Amino acid sequence: MEDLRLTHERQEVRSFIQQVYLWMTLALLTTAGVAFAVSVSPSLVEALFANRSLFFVLAIAEVLIVVFLSRAINKMSAQTATVIFFVYSVVNGFTFSWIFLAYDLGSIASVFLVTAGTFGVMCAYGYVTKRDLTSVGNICFMALIGLIIASVVNIFIINDTFSLVISFIGVIVFVAITAYDTQKIKRMALNLSYTDDLEAKSKGSILGALTLYLDFINLFIYLLRLFGKKR
């Protein structure tokens, strides 16, 4: 009986994790597709980058969507949460279109593969490790606040060396956060494996996908700043 329970639990956890990665992958493909489409459209590029106010409105909208989805997901349906998640990935596509304008396409592809490999390794570690990564997550959260402050300061001083240091630290932080978030999502999966509430599981998978999507995007951006070849 105990073996049957454990087998069921593992199947439920595996199914949940697969759903998380499916949503994350679809969102990443959506962002990449929109970003590339915008970058090859002169009219969209001009509308987005000639008018800085529009770009900043979209950037602020990204933050508000993440905050809203994270805090209000339990009050909405799984379908609504899914739509909001993909709206966010589309908005990200517009704001990240600068990547295809600033960096060589081959360089983008190379860094993407490095990011995917690094991300995959850290996800695997976070999933299988028996070590509690909560303290690592707390340290990374404090480091993330420092990164945000440093990035804002660098907007005004525009120092290339400082930017490289920020990017290097950013890679380390998001490598660690990826492992922590994976462990956190696994725990969420274990908790949800005891319920038959499909709605709760669906919303949990969207929230997990959003978390890992953000980790992947940030890790990619920092690695691109370090190793990307500019046009």
Give pLDDT tens digits for 73-121. 989 999 999 999 999 999 999 999 999 999 999 999 999 999 999 999 9
4-60 per-position pLDDT tens digit? 555 657 788 888 999 999 999 999 999 999 999 999 999 888 888 887 788 888 889
CB distance 179 to 122 below 8 Å:
yes
Q: Full-prediction pTM beyond 0.95? A: no
Tokens of 57: 């409105």
Percent of the chain residues past pLDDT 70, beyond the cut: 96
- Are residues 115 and 219 in contact, defined by beta-carbon separation less than 8 angstroms? yes
Distance CA 152, CA 140 (A): 18
Do 165 and 196 meet the contact criterion of CB atoms below 8 Å apart?
no
Provide the H-helix boundaries in the chain: 2-39, 42-49, 52-72, 78-95, 98-102, 105-128, 134-157, 160-192, 198-227
Dist. CA 204–CA 19, nearest whole Å: 10
